[in-house]
Amino acid sequence: MAKEAVTQEIIPLSEPEKWREALQGINHAFGHTWESTYAMHLTTNFPTYLYVLRAGLVKIVCPLAERDFNNYIDIVTPYGFSGFAGNQDFPDFQQYWLKFTQEQGYVSGYIGLNPLLENNTYWSADEVYQHNTLYVLNLQVSMTELFQQLSQNRRRQLKNFSAHQQHFTTDKLLLKEFYLAQHQRFFSEKKAAPVYNFAPATLSYLLNLENVLLVGYTESGQVKAVSVFAYTTYVGEYLFNVSLPGAQDQTAALLWYGLTLLKAKQIPYLNLGGGAQEGDSIAQFKQRFGAAAFPLKALKQVYNTPVYAQLCQATQADPANKSGYFPAYRQR
């Protein structure tokens, strides 16, 4: 029997309908969507594509952004939880992927992996590095079960949630205005990583999307805190939260409210994300919802070893060390 023909291509942001068609039939997260990657492009200006492999009935996708370094190109998955996602196992994938990256002239790649979608036939185990933990809720169980999974303190916090629901709103126009006004201040005060320094165009575009949900807490008609969620048919994600001083204690209730709305939409899972660092207070906050822990991993791949070593030497980085920042030559 003849072997199935294999094709590989990259779909640019200029072809949104082709991008959306390529995702059909594949379990994917918000980070795989054209909308998410376009929003991130508004901040980074990186050339951004959807990689697509087809081999008979097999289809594998991954969003990629190209970054220039001294006239050499490396690739990275855009902000979000994406990585390789496909509809079937494909043990031969690595050989085709390596051929593709070398034909494209890429030096290296940092490919984030989504633990809810990963397929280990798509990569070699020695290229996988864990750098954090994600916390995920199964929304397919009953609300009673979800409540029982909460920590004792969290159950106490949310016991009278329904009695205070009049303070919560999903008025997107109202909440978007508040969020755009508060994002920079809030993340700056929290000394958040530079990755959260989104351009206003990115935030404005994201918050307007149909599959981005805003939930807010109000007092006397004034918004005090907002949480942002995004979702596909396959998984929801807790993206951001901002609050005014004195309203931080509403964060848990907002998350619970958002959870109930996603469950009503029959979204099966909610990815709460992880901490800024392993086991920090943010991670503990998410753990207390009874969420299951998943290792957050990424592939650190070198496609052109001589050039990678040359770039590392020029920046006094160790090309053999993949345990830290990658690619090592970008760590200044």
The two tokens of residue 201 are: 């165009």
Res 166: pLDDT = 87
Spatial contact of 323 and 137, defined as CB atoms under 8 Å apart: no
Helical ranges in the chain per DSSP H: 16-23, 34-44, 93-104, 143-149, 152-158, 172-189, 200-208, 251-264, 281-287, 305-314
Res 332: pLDDT = 64
Res 11: pLDDT = 98
State the Cα–Cα distance between residues 76 and 64, nearest whole angstrom: 6
Give the chain's residues under pLDDT 70: 1-3, 332
Torsion of CA 86, 25, 295, 130, to 10 degrees: 30
State the Cα–Cα distance between residues 35 and 10, nearest whole angstrom: 16
State the Cα–Cα distance between residues 152 and 271, nearest whole angstrom: 21
Report the predicted TM-score, pTM, of the whole model to 2 decimal places: 0.94
Res 1: pLDDT = 39
Res 193: pLDDT = 86
User: How many residues would you count in the chain?
Assistant: 332
Res 165: pLDDT = 84
